[in-house]
Amino acid sequence: MPTYDPALSLKLDDQLCFALYSATNALKKMYRPMLERLGLTYPQYLVMMVLWERDGQTVSEIGDKLFLDSATLTPLLKRLENHSILERRRAAEDERIVRVSLTAKGNSLKEMAATVPGEAVGATGCTPDELTTLRDALVQLRTDLMANG
């Protein structure tokens, strides 16, 4: 394991958090023109991917998958509903549960979005294997961070 050098602790370019933050910003910027064609923001695109995988999920299931709380997710869902992309309905068996379902318009966006992952991979300049390795390392980092606090 590498040793930690406290002299580096306040240098911005040595910070993992800044590398992740700035890479995330660059990634969202790269996605912006692709998603504008769909009329979606990046967070909305993430919600749509969750629903394209399995329609009819509850708000809490979507939030768990995206690591978002209800206060953050609800406005996203409301905007998508206002654009007739999805609909939210309270479950008859328990009104506290809200199910989210795609409309025909929301389903049709899936076909339009089919080119986005390939375009994104191409824009990175990385091979698919390199991206898989990076993704797996980041998932493990997230898991470790969540387990530790």
Residue 10 lies in a domain: yes
- Report the CATH number at residue 32: 1.10.10.10
pLDDT single digits (tens) 48-69:
999 999 999 999 999 999 999 9
**Is 36 part of any domain?**
yes
pTM: 0.90
Domain membership flag for residue 136:
no
- pLDDT at position 13: 87
Is there a domain that residue 119 lies in? Answer: no
In angstroms, the CA 32 to CA 88 distance is 26
In a domain, 122, yes or no: no
pLDDT (tens digit, 0 to 9) for every residue of the chain, 149 residues total? Answer: 566 665 667 889 888 999 999 999 999 999 999 999 999 999 999 999 999 999 999 999 999 999 999 999 999 999 999 999 999 999 998 999 999 999 999 999 999 999 999 999 999 999 999 999 999 999 999 999 999 97
Nearest 5°: phi and psi at 134? -60, -45
Domain count, the chain: 1
The pLDDT value given to residue 7: 62
Taking the chain, what is the end-to-end CA distance rounded to the nearest angstrom?
21
CB atoms within 10 A of CB 22: 13
Note whether residue 52 is domain-resident. yes
What percentage of the chain reaches a pLDDT higher than 70?
A: 95
| Any domain includes 130 | no
Is 139 contained in some domain? no
Give the domain range for residue 82. Answer: 6-111
